[in-house]
């Protein structure tokens, strides 16, 4: 188990000094899902939600959230993101929507939190925009799928993780 870098010797929280680290291209991909009734999915896909374009609003909300991650998560560094992409795909097997976010930066620290924040807020936006027709929706399985770059190397979630 590696040492937690955000804690001092007495357990106090600290922002990690990344000043001496080399800039590298770093990417992260996260995913999550919103499980809902089949008729809720049909309403969203038909564009009939009372609040408007659920998928478009969720996509924009996820991108905006990634850009503000350092304001939401304590001790995260502000990053000049090169790219944030949020994709939302229907999955009839859930039934519901699968949300995937990619974040990329050329910098001294990773973008895992930005990708995870993008997915989380996109899922919350889907819930908010469709809750009038389905309050029982479940936001599920938000997780990091892969990351590249940086000192810790690459990570890709295996199928059994």
Of 17, 42, 53, 128, catalytic: 128
Provide the greatest CA pair distance for the chain: 55
Distance (Å) of CA 6 to CA 3, 13, 17, 144, 155: 9, 6, 10, 20, 21
Q: What is the dihedral of CA 69, 72, 73, 79, to 10 degrees?
A: 30
Instruction: Mark whether 154 is an active-site residue.
Output: no
- How many whole angstroms separate alpha carbon 126 and alpha carbon 41? 10
Torsions phi, psi of 31, nearest 5?
Answer: -145, 165
Q: Tell me which residues are annotated as active site.
A: 128
């Amino acid at each position: 188990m590696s040492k937690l870098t955000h804690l001092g010797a007495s357990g106090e929280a600290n922002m990690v000094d990344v000043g001496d680290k080399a800039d590298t291209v770093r990417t992260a991909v996260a995913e999550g899902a919103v499980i809902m009734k089949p008729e809720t999915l049909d309403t969203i896909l038909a564009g009939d939600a009372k609040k408007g374009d659920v998928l478009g609003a969720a996509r924009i909300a996820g991108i905006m959230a990634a850009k503000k991650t350092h304001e939401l998560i304590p001790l995260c560094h502000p990053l000049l993101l090169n790219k944030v992409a949020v994709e939302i795909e229907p999955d009839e097997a859930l039934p519901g929507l699968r949300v995937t976010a990619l974040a990329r930066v050329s910098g001294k620290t990773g973008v895992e939190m930005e990708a995870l924040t993008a997915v989380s807020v996109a899922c919350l936006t889907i819930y908010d925009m469709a809750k009038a027709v389905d309050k029982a929706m479940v936001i599920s399985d938000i997780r990091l799928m892969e990351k590249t770059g940086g000192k810790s190397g690459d990570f890709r979630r295996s199928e059994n993780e």
